[in-house]
Amino acid sequence: MFYHTIALTAGFLLDLLIGDPRWLYHPVCLIGNLIAVLEKGIRKIFPKTQKGELLGGFLEVVLVCLLSFGIPAVILSVLYRNVPALGCAVETFWCYQLLATKSLKDESMKVHDRLLNGTIEEARYAVSMIVGRDTKALTEEGVTKAAVETVAENCSDGVIAPMIYMAAGGAPVMFLYKGINTMDSMLGYKNDKYLYFGRCAAKLDDLANYLPARISGWLMVAASFFSGMNGKNAAKIYKRDRRNHASPNSAQTEAAMAGALEIQLAGNAYYFGKLYEKPTIGDSLRPVEPEDIRRANRLMYATAVLSLVICAGLRLALQILL
């Protein structure tokens, strides 16, 4: 049965063509609402102690994983058993919704537009929509670096990793990954509220992204060779700086991106008014400029296409062999 390969390829192409229309309710919003509702109920049940919050957070992770995987799995199982073509159409639609290639490009290019045609305040606001750091004091270079870093990191989280999980187990496994990823974005903070409650979600997200982040990094290095960028430097910086981040996964694609663009990324940043000292990634072979956002998107697209060819090809080969 080649439906999953068709759904992956068609879903990817739809994402490139259409992106995420604002009028269409996104399934990640449903997952986010589920996480919020469960958190509210679980916190009422478990005591506000370290052990209680750890157990509550663990229960949240179990329930979100079961529901985010189970519901689409049941729906697709029924559809493929009775109306295979409809099952393929639904899986294609879900795959399209859960990939973020075009929306990532569109949102980052808004920053590029404001840097060239607007004010620095407008550029700071545009980048604040796609990053978690404080942006009020960012210079033009700081705004550009923040946008490029977001494209690099989300190339893995929003494009390559979902594609890998879709190829491995269809849309239900893709939904499972997005459930884990969304939990981390909502609960995985090291503050008083989530230090213990969100620990299980954060660790599971690190685990779920461990291999995809490294695959994404190497794919980005490979893509830099045929997208007009410095592939040799991308490989050099990737191998040297891929661990220069508090997260075990975030620097993987940032290092490849910095090397390919011949710029320096990362470094110290403010979050919620507090300065966090962070190592730099890459060498400053040339000044950072707004056009680097466009270059970052070109490399992200090349990486995504390369990933699709490999994922769909491997899936097709396995289906033929089995």
pLDDT in tens, 2-39: 888 999 999 999 999 998 877 677 889 999 999 999 99
The domain total for the chain is 1
**pLDDT > 70: percent of the chain:** 96
Measured over the CA atoms of residue 245, residue 248, residue 254 and residue 255, the dihedral's sign is positive
Residue 26: DSSP 8-state: P
- Ranges 12-26, 97-111, 146-160: which has the least confidence: 12-26
pLDDT score for 134: 76
CA 29, distance to chain mean position in Å, is: 15
Tokens of 141: 């270079």
pLDDT score for 90: 96
d(CA 261, CA 229): 7
Tokens of 29: 């919003």
Segment 101-122 mean pLDDT: 94
The model carries a pTM of 0.92
**pLDDT > 90: percent of the chain:** 78
Q: Is 152 helix (H, G, I), strand (E, B) or coil?
A: helix
Task: Give percent helix, percent strand, percent coil of the chain, each to the nearest 5.
Answer: 75, 5, 25
- Ranges 21-25, 74-78, 278-282: which has the least confidence: 21-25
d(CA 167, CA 59): 28
Asked if residue 243 has pLDDT above 60, the reply is yes
d(CA 164, CA 160): 6
Check if the beta carbon of residue 132 is closer than 8 Å to that of residue 143.
no
User: Would you give the end-to-end CA distance of the chain in angstroms?
Assistant: 10
Q: Which domain holds residue 266?
A: 3-321
Q: How confident is the model at residue 135 (pLDDT cuts 50, 70, 90)?
A: confident
d(CA 128, CA 107): 11
- Report the C-alpha dihedral over residues 170, 173, 175, 177, rounded to 10 degrees: -130
Segment 192-221 mean pLDDT: 95
pLDDT score for 269: 63
